Amino acid sequence: MASGSGAVSGSAEAAGFGEAAEFGDPAEFAEAAGPADPAGAAEAPVVRGRAERRRTARRAARRRRRSRLREIPLIVVVALVVALVMKTFLVQVFVIPSGSMEQTILIGDRVLVDKFTPWFGAEPERGEVVVFKDPGGWLENQHGAATDGVLLRGAKQVLTFVGLLPSDSEQDLIKRVIGVGGDTVECCDDQGRILLNGKPLDEPYLASGNPPSRQPFKVKVPPGRLWVMGDHRDVSADSRFHMGNPGQGTVPVSGVLGRAFMIAWPVGRVHQLDVPVSLSSVARGPTDPGTARNAVGVDPIPEEPPLVMGVLGILPLVGRRVGRPGR
């Protein structure tokens, strides 16, 4: 009986275990079933997490690419506006196409021109190197036939307007101011020096081997005008060569675009353009209207190509200048 009772009792326990397994506490079932395989249980969630992260990263990359594409037109517009503002009101870069200002400024140099201070009434002073519009008859049109297509021509016109490309219609020149309104400029004294209000000038900026002037002249600069000359006197078609023009070879102050204050390229020639003391220290003459005397016509007149301008002209991104070649 004992053994039978024990068997019955064991069967009951077994039955109880079965009921517990079927209807009992899941925790007891888990404990009874034994420990689970930790490696197998953790592997599936990790794989799903990595895949989800990859999909999220791909979606984020696509969003960034779309965002950049949408931002490009805005960036272009902002860059063009900044370039236009700089060209019009602040600083403009000019590329030198001729040797009329050697050795101070060489062919291919990029000069920075201050267009900001003239807005506050500042006028050019003697000794300053200035960029000015052709006062009339100094330059001849040298436009070649256009060969660009419609789209390329339109793009160039837009970039030229904002100053990112050279203009083929601008008529700008660069020279040094020798006399201002009221001054009397004359060539030359017994030692061959230019006289400014009767005082001989020391001109250390002249090109090597050049005399101050080979053409005699004497002019009283009218008010509001400038007498300008190149530093390379033998090749510069400056005020001396246009004394038969309206203004007697002088340039109106209103036509001055700004003062060239620095050579910005090439790197080895970066320096400030200083004003010679010999010019700035001479007292001004009386500002009564004057007339030119001893004007000398010289034939032939040296060629004077216009400047090439562009805000990005400081960067030699192109191997050659776009526009008219300097001669």
Residues in the chain: 327
User: Nearest 5 degrees, angle CA 209-CA 216-CA 255?
Assistant: 90
| 289 bridge partner residues | none
Residue 8 to residues 2, 5, 22, 175, 314: CA-CA distances in angstroms?
10, 5, 21, 124, 105
The residue annotated as part of the active site, out of 98, 100, 213, 236, is 100
Q: Which residues, other chains included, contact 53 with Cβ-Cβ below 8 Å and sequence gap of 6+? A: none
Pairwise CA distance, residues 270 & 155, whole Å: 32
The residue annotated as part of the active site, out of 87, 115, 156, 175, is 175
Asked if 95 contacts 101 with a C-beta cutoff of 8 angstroms, the reply is no
Query: Is position 281 annotated as part of the catalytic site?
Result: no
CB atoms within 10 A of CB 170: 17
Query: Is position 115 annotated as part of the catalytic site?
Result: no
Q: Where are the beta strands (DSSP E) in 203-255?
A: 217-220, 225-229, 251-252
Active site residues: 100, 175
